[in-house]
Amino acid sequence: MAKSADLSFLREISLLKDLEEPQLVALWPRLRERRLRKSEVLFREGDPGEEMFFIRTGTILVSKVVSGRVEQILSRLQAGDVFGEMSVFGDEPIRTATIQAENEASLFSLDRKSINEFIEANPKDAARLFQQLVVVLIRRLVQSSQLVSEVTRWGLEATGLDAERKSGGSSR
């Protein structure tokens, strides 16, 4: 049975913020708690997966392999954030990034089967959830675009290819 503190937590999650209390109460028993120790890896890029996670406490690092054993941190997620939705809603249940706890963290997971049952039983609320999912995905797309732009600029600066533009001259 969901307690008041549990429902308050669910209301803080961006994907669930527009759901009514009866839907949050119905969703609560489908969630599974997972605790991570500091620096513990939940999953790695390329791993299979069929669940998404809601962060209750702690900070989660999202990273991708750049080369060999070198990883680039893409973002830090906090309480109320969600991750892992691509393996639940995507065609391929493959993790696209590595997830690691920066410090102790408490998460709640929702698997593909449970989310599909919720969607079938609550189509109106599912539409609200999907609207919020689009907002989250657009925000991440903008962040990724900014990172690509920044990395490209760094690469040009490192190779000296942007010196031509800075000097205002042309080699033609």
pLDDT tops 60 at residue 170: no
62 within domain boundaries: yes
Domain of 41, in residue numbers:
4-160
Beta strands in 78-147 (DSSP E): 82-83, 98-101, 105-111
165 within domain boundaries: no
170 within domain boundaries: no
SS3 97: coil
Cβ–Cβ under 8 Å, residues 11 and 54? no
Q: Give residues with Cβ within 8 angstroms of 35, minimum separation 6.
A: 104, 105, 106, 107
The CATH number covering residue 57 comes to 2.60.120.10
81 within domain boundaries: yes
Mean pLDDT calculated for residue range 149-160: 75
133 within domain boundaries: yes
Residue 39: CB atoms within 10 A of its CB come to 11
88 within domain boundaries: yes
Q: For residue 97, what are the CA distances in angstroms to 44, 62, 84? A: 6, 6, 9
172 within domain boundaries: no
Cβ–Cβ under 8 Å, residues 64 and 74? yes
Mean pLDDT calculated for residue range 153-161: 75
Q: How many angstroms separate the CA atoms of 61 and 81, rounded?
A: 12
pLDDT in tens, 36-88: 999 999 999 999 999 999 999 999 999 998 888 888 888 899 999 999 988 88
Our count of domains for the chain comes to 1
Token pair for residue 161?
């290819």
167 within domain boundaries: no
